[in-house]
Amino acid sequence: MTMGFAKDGAHLNSGRTASNLTPYEPATAPTPGGDRSDIAGREDILRLVETFYTRAFADEVIGHIFTTVVHMDLPKHMPIMADFWQTVLFKAGLYSRNALQVHFDIHALEPLTLEHFNRWLQLWTNTVDELFSGEKAEMAKVQAHLIAGSLHRRVTGRPASRYSSISLRPDAGGS
């Protein structure tokens, strides 16, 4: 799967989305490692977020945001993120925090750039693909792209919707 990054890790701007985030592309080929099951519940979600955040904390592009900028307590954060993704994927209603405000707070400390969001998406998508395969796994990737796009637009002062530039023409007849 291509994630819009050159071999050196630089982002290749496809311009295909309103926020210029790397567009989502469904997995077309299985990841090496055999058959993978779909995300089925809390245990799988915990495995996914723990694997992802362990990688994100160590990442050259976004790791410092978690470790230096916000000093995130990973063990404390895992149940919160599991609640979030369980709510997103299974409509569990477990997450009640304001994810947007959290990202505004982080952005005030260090501006969250397109590169940060694209790297987060690349790590998330790769982690999902390595661990799972199926409808919920695809949904986790699609939702991550939608959420990241919305968050990126909001923290950079634009409306959440990628369709915000579409407007109705004034009525020519004047009503």
pTM: 0.75
pLDDT at 1 (0 to 100): 36
Q: How far apart are CA 145 and CA 18, in angstroms?
A: 12
CATH topology of domain 42-155: Globin-like (1.10.490)
- pLDDT over 70 (residue 174): no
Helix, strand, coil % over all residues of the chain, rounded to 5: 50, 0, 45
Q: pLDDT tens for residues 45-102? A: 999 999 999 999 999 999 999 999 999 998 999 999 999 999 999 999 999 888 889 9
With bands split at pLDDT 50, 70 and 90, how would you rate the model's confidence at 35? confident
Domain residue limits, the chain: 42-155
